[in-house]
Structure 1
Amino acid sequence: MSTAQQPTDWNAWSRAAVEAMVAGNAKWQHDFGLEGAPKYHWDLDSATLTFEGALGPVLATVCLVGTSSDSEGSFLWSWANEAIPRQHGQALEVVHEFGREHQLALLTTARIQGGRPEAMECLCIAGRLQRALGTFIDQQGDVTLYFTVLHLRVEPAKEQLLH
């Protein structure tokens, strides 16, 4: 009997990645009281995203997967963008390596033509490969930033730190 592995259906694999990230987003937002539109602040240098949640400040460790530009109609991976702090590209090495290993141009091409759908697919694939809790997206003018959420914790209140 042959034990040859069946070829992977990459479309189905990608759809499963999207579904996992959508479910993960609902879970972490619920678990940390972040449903709705909480105030937030991200910092690329520290790779953090801080929310003002119902439970207090929630600190997320994030990876900026990439950015898209409406005017350019493309998605640029963080590992290919010199303006992005290096730790983001390093955190994406698992994604880049997976793309090289499986000859998936979507994961190895620095700039991908397309818009939000292509960027979302890249984001969700990265999230699946990084075993992320979910994703976060922010728009800054013409540029959309796509983050994976890798870790979350509620920050202790400042009063608790003084005791």
Structure 2
Amino acid sequence: MVIDPPYVEFLADSLNEESRWANPCGLWDLALDAEPAANMTTSPQPAYCVNASRKLTPGGSGGRIVDHVDQRPVHDHELWESVVSAARDRVGQRQAAMVSDHGLSGDVQYGWSMDDASIVWSRGGRDFLHGRITLIGSVDHAQETWLWSWANSSLPQTVLGDITAVRLYGEEHVFPLLVWPSFHADQKRVAQARIVAADVLAADGLWLEPGDEIDLHFAIHSLRRV
């Protein structure tokens, strides 16, 4: 396959428009336009969601029942945008270096395997570069949904790498896009998800494998010349 421009396109142009987010807890308690995919598999409510309960407290004759709300942190959109911006800069630099330093443009062929999480580039029938892949997620064209690899039980464990670290990072910092198993795959959300994931994983770069029905988004690691 001739790769020019290489299939490591960055999707960074879609990161500049403003978006809105809501409390990620109510469907978890979702509102506005930050909804997960309508057909997503439900998962337990994140620990950072509001925990509302009723309890009996002393007072009057026999006490009274009051509403008790344990308000834990909710999504900070400004923080998320700053994280995305910083990740875009770092990943963009590594992406450019990966392409230029290893000659991943022009008449380059490649092959990859999820079974051993490997990718190999060749030119003129000779391998010149090996690497390791982590599947970040996939986009289903028909359903227009993104699915995180950590939520896809059909994948071999090897290709998941440390992807769980991305979900844990999302839970720690209250970033819903990193916690929902699936969400509507508009260009901006996909770009943000893959770029922040690549940054959390300290990947050398990103790789897109387009398909007729499903696109696969990989992080590239551990590049070595043959």
TM-score bracket for this pair, using the shorter chain length: 0.7 to 0.9
SS at match of 1:132: coil
**Corresponding position of 1:12:** 82
CA contact (8 A) 2:116 2:158 kept: no
* C-alpha distance after superposition, 1:10-55 (max 9, x if no partner): 1121122123222212111111122235211110111111111488
**Corresponding position of 1:161:** none
CA contact (8 A) 2:115 2:159 kept: no
SS at match of 2:210: strand
> Which of these residues, 132, 145, 151, is aligned with residue 61 of structure 1?
132
Alpha carbons of 1:56 and 1:33: their partners in 2 closer, same or farther (altered >3 Å)?
Answer: farther
Letter of the 1:63 counterpart: T
**Corresponding position of 2:114:** 44
**C-alpha distance in 2, partners of 1:149/1:11?**
24
Displacement, 1:76? 0.3
**C-alpha distance in 2, partners of 1:87/1:101?**
25
**Corresponding position of 2:104:** 34
**Corresponding position of 1:4:** none
**Corresponding position of 1:105:** 176
Q: Which moved more, 1:80-89 or 1:98-107?
A: 80-89
Q: Which runs of 4+ in 1 moved over 4 A?
A: 53-56
1:73 paired with 2:178, answer no
**C-alpha distance in 2, partners of 1:139/1:27?**
22
**Corresponding position of 1:24:** 94
1:123 paired with 2:198, answer no
Could you tell me the percent identity over the aligned residues? 23
**C-alpha distance in 2, partners of 1:78/1:58?**
25
- TM-score, structure 1 length as denominator? 0.83
Letter of the 1:61 counterpart: R
Length, aligned pairs only: 149
* C-alpha distance after superposition, 1:77-121 (max 9, x if no partner): 001111211233351121111011112111111001123332221
CA RMSD of aligned residues (A): 2.0
CA contact (8 A) 1:40 1:50 kept: yes
CA contact (8 A) 2:170 2:178 kept: yes
> Which of these residues, 65, 76, 93, is aligned with residue 164 of structure 2?
93
From the two aligned structures, give the one with the greater helix fraction: 1
Letter of the 2:131 counterpart: A
- Flag the structure with larger Rg: 2
- TM-score, structure 2 length as denominator? 0.61
**C-alpha distance in 2, partners of 1:119/1:39?**
26
CA contact (8 A) 1:28 1:134 kept: yes
Stretches of structure 1 lacking an aligned partner (at least 5 in a row) = 1-6, 156-163
